[in-house]
Amino acid sequence: MSLSPFPCAPSSSVRVAAAVRHAVATGLLGESGPVAGFVDTDGVRDSVAALHEAFAGVPGVLHTFAAKAASLVPVLRLLAECGMGCEVASPGELRIALDAGFAPSRIVLDSPAKTREEIRRALALGVALNADNLDEVDRIASLRPSNAASVVGLRVNPQVGGGSIGAMSTATATSKFGVALRDPGARERVVEAFAAHPWLTRLHAHVGSQGCSLELIAAGIGETYRLAEEINTLLGRRQITGLDIGGGLPVNFADDEVRPTFAAYAAALRAAVPGLFDGRYELVTEFGRSLLAKNGFIGALVEYTKDAGGRRIALTHAGAQTATRTVFMPDAWPLRVGAFGSDGRPKAGPSLVQDIAGPCCFAGDVVAHARDLPELREGDYVVLYDTGAYYFSTPWAYNSLPRPAVYGFRTEAGPDGPSVRFAAVRDAQSLDSISAESGLAHADALLHFPS
């Protein structure tokens, strides 16, 4: 059942189709804006509500959003207004989280390579920190004022194995993240660190994101829970009071269905780690992709079509600069593609096997290979579905292509079909900005070195 604020709200697929049609009609997509990202704000609210509902009745839960999944201030502000906290992993992400309105006490800093300055700033603000390793614990100890309000935790690697995408698996034997618990002597050193630092009160673990099963995620959280119990027992005091269980709920990119759900995730944790929800530990989650992916899409103009080797190729403005992972790892990150006519309405008619290529100047810039779609022509549009997380919010500047504009939209049911309202989230990058970022202010610097 939809949790949208609008009664009888249109379904997700209906909302996307209405948004594409309206974007074309109003010129947000077209000759002057050949590619843009769109965020379905009704869908975002629904997803956040589903997350909160899955943990209803569990005391002391802070749900944070992984800022890297949508590093856009207006999107983060919407999430803050929906009751989310924010997980950040760099000085830039911390800055935009603060600008978006998150209270420092609802921000968690997880960077694996924190500088001393980052640590000082987080401690001064009261932002929570998860140390990535035991050397970082020592660094925090040397910088931490006695009256610091920041919650400090330690990230551990439960080493329970990897999922189907190795690059996204963070609990493998040799993962770069956290203290590897099964390495000789590691568990004992973790216990010693907590014994030496009573202000160390949280354990953090994250098994991976995308490609990790619920069973694998639950196994990693279970190992972390048992370690917390062990440490508290050995120390004879309830020092660890919180568990940061990360995020990583995979997203179904094959069709419109949301699976697995947050409810299924919570049920898997209840089955595997029954004591996790009894209130003895404050919980922190760090979901990103699972909250935003299905609540956004990329729309792009088809600039040309051509035939090569018996294959039709549609040259569009959505390529590796927005769909970087899909272009370089197409088997791991496939995307659904929709074909829309020049009027912004879904295309019908006989299907044709086509490649959907992007504008980047290298041969591999193809976002979809050999797809059966209604025949695309110059002036049509393609839609890359399920791209609300990571895609248009973290563009790649290859070929100095400008960052695309991003719009949020809200859809309401009406007597003549859905009506759509847009709001600008990020303006398209200007050519002046590209030149400035490319060192324009220092144009002559290499011609005349100072003596």
For the chain, what is the domain count?
2
The whole-chain average pLDDT of the chain stands at 94
* Residue 441 within any structural domain of the chain: no
Q: Over range 18-22, report the average pLDDT.
A: 97
Pairing mode of beta strands 179-180, 200-204: unpaired
Boundary-marking domain end, from 269, 290, 311: 290
* Residue 305 within any structural domain of the chain: yes
Where in the sequence is the domain holding 179, given as residue range(s)? 42-290
In this structure, the answer to whether residues 360 and 279 fall within a common structural domain is no
In this structure, the answer to whether residues 307 and 257 fall within a common structural domain is no
In this structure, the answer to whether residues 145 and 100 fall within a common structural domain is yes
CA-wise closest residue to 304 among 38, 34, 33, 37: 34
Residue 400, Cβ neighbours under 10 Å: how many?
A: 12
Q: Is the pLDDT of residue 44 over 70?
A: yes
Residues 20, 29: contact at Cβ < 8 Å? Answer: yes
pLDDT of residue 4: 42
In this structure, the answer to whether residues 71 and 198 fall within a common structural domain is yes
Q: How confident is the model at residue 7 (pLDDT cuts 50, 70, 90)?
A: very low
* Residue 318 within any structural domain of the chain: yes
* CATH number for 345: 2.40.37.10
In this structure, the answer to whether residues 108 and 170 fall within a common structural domain is yes
In this structure, the answer to whether residues 244 and 385 fall within a common structural domain is no
In this structure, the answer to whether residues 379 and 263 fall within a common structural domain is no
* Residue 210 within any structural domain of the chain: yes
- Per-residue pLDDT tens over the stretch 48-83: 999 999 999 999 999 999 999 999 999 999 999 999
Q: How confident is the model at residue 250 (pLDDT cuts 50, 70, 90)?
A: very high
Q: Tell me 427's DSSP state.
A: P
Q: Is the pLDDT of residue 435 over 50?
A: yes
Instruction: Give the containing element (helix H, strand E) for 393.
Output: none
In this structure, the answer to whether residues 46 and 155 fall within a common structural domain is yes
* CATH number for 271: 3.20.20.10
pLDDT of residue 45: 98
Question: Cα separation of 47 and 75, whole Å?
Answer: 13
* Residue 445 within any structural domain of the chain: no
In this structure, the answer to whether residues 194 and 91 fall within a common structural domain is yes
- Per-residue pLDDT tens over the stretch 335-379: 999 999 999 999 999 999 999 999 999 999 999 999 999 999 999
Q: Is the pLDDT of residue 10 over 80?
A: no
Go through 196-227 and write b for each residue having 16 or more CB atoms within 10 A of its CB, e for each that does not. Answer: ebeebbbbbbbbbbbbbebebbbbbbbbbbeb
Sign of the CA dihedral with 403 first, then 303, 32, and 439 last: positive
- Per-residue pLDDT tens over the stretch 174-183: 788 889 898 9
Question: Cα separation of 285 and 62, whole Å?
Answer: 6
pLDDT of residue 310: 92
* Residue 5 within any structural domain of the chain: no
Pairing mode of beta strands 381-384, 337-340: antiparallel
Boundary-marking domain end, from 270, 290, 310: 290
In this structure, the answer to whether residues 270 and 337 fall within a common structural domain is no
In this structure, the answer to whether residues 220 and 352 fall within a common structural domain is no
End-to-end CA distance of the chain: 71
* Residue 449 within any structural domain of the chain: no
DSSP three-state, residue 41: helix
pLDDT of residue 9: 56
Boundary-marking domain end, from 275, 290, 305: 290
Q: Tell me 56's DSSP state.
A: T
Q: Over range 111-130, report the average pLDDT.
A: 97
In this structure, the answer to whether residues 62 and 130 fall within a common structural domain is yes
Q: Is the pLDDT of residue 5 over 70?
A: no
* Residue 303 within any structural domain of the chain: yes
Residue 445, Cβ neighbours under 10 Å: how many?
A: 10
